[in-house]
Amino acid sequence: MVTKLGKKSEFPIFKQILDLIPHSLLRASINKYKSDKSCSTYFTYDELVSMMFGQLNKCLSLREISLGINQSPEFIADIGLSQIPAKSTMSDGNQKRDYRVFEHLYLSLCKHFKSELSQRSEYKVIKEIEGKHIKIIDATIMSVCLNLFSWAEYRTAKGGYQGSCVVR
C-alpha cells in the first residue's frame, strides 16, 4: 500500500483515501446541518464511509456494501468504524439524514483542494476556455429502459448522457 508521498503504509488504500478528507471540513458540515443530532449508532462519518466504499467498489446494493465492509475486524477498525453498518441501518440513515451535509462537504473539499492544488507548479488555468461554456461528455454507459428515455439513442441496449458546465 502506498501513501501520497510514495512511502509504504500499513493501512488499506481505502483508509488512505478517507484520510484525504480534512476532519475539520467534515465536522463543519456535520455541525452546519446537525446531521448527527439524535443519532446513537450510525453517524454521518459512518454513512460517508459506507457510501464511499459502495461507490468505489461498484456495489449495487446496501447488502453488498455491508458484506464488503465486513472483510475483517482490522479493516473495520482501520477505516474508523466501530461496527459493521447493517443494511437496514444504512437505509434508515440514507432516508433520514439531510443530503445537504454531503453536498456541503463536497463543495468544501472542492474549495480546499482547489486552493491547495493551485499552489502547485503543475496547476494551470487554460486561458482559452476560462469563463466559457464547455461541454463535458460522460462516456459511462448505463442500462436504462430506453423506451422511457428518448434521449438515450446511442445503442439499442444501453444509453448515455452529456451535460455542460462553465469553467471558472
Answer yes or no: pTM beyond 0.75: no
The C-alpha cell that represents 99 in the structure block: 443530503
The C-alpha cell that represents 115 in the structure block: 486552493
Bridge-partner residues for 33, per DSSP?
A: none
Tell me, what's the pLDDT at 126?
81
The pLDDT tens digits along the chain (168 residues) read 444 555 567 889 999 999 999 999 999 999 999 999 988 899 999 999 999 999 999 999 999 999 999 989 999 999 999 999 999 999 999 999 999 999 999 999 999 998 888 888 887 778 888 888 888 777 666 565 656 666 655 555 555 554 544 555
Tell me, what's the pLDDT at 6?
53
**CA dist 16 to 2, 24, 28, 78, Å?**
8, 17, 21, 10
For residues 125 and 132, what is the distance between their CA atoms, to the nearest angstrom?
12
Q: How many CB atoms lie within 10 A of CB 46?
A: 22
The DSSP annotation for 78-109 comes to HTT-SSPPPHHHHHHHHHHS-THHHHHHHHHH
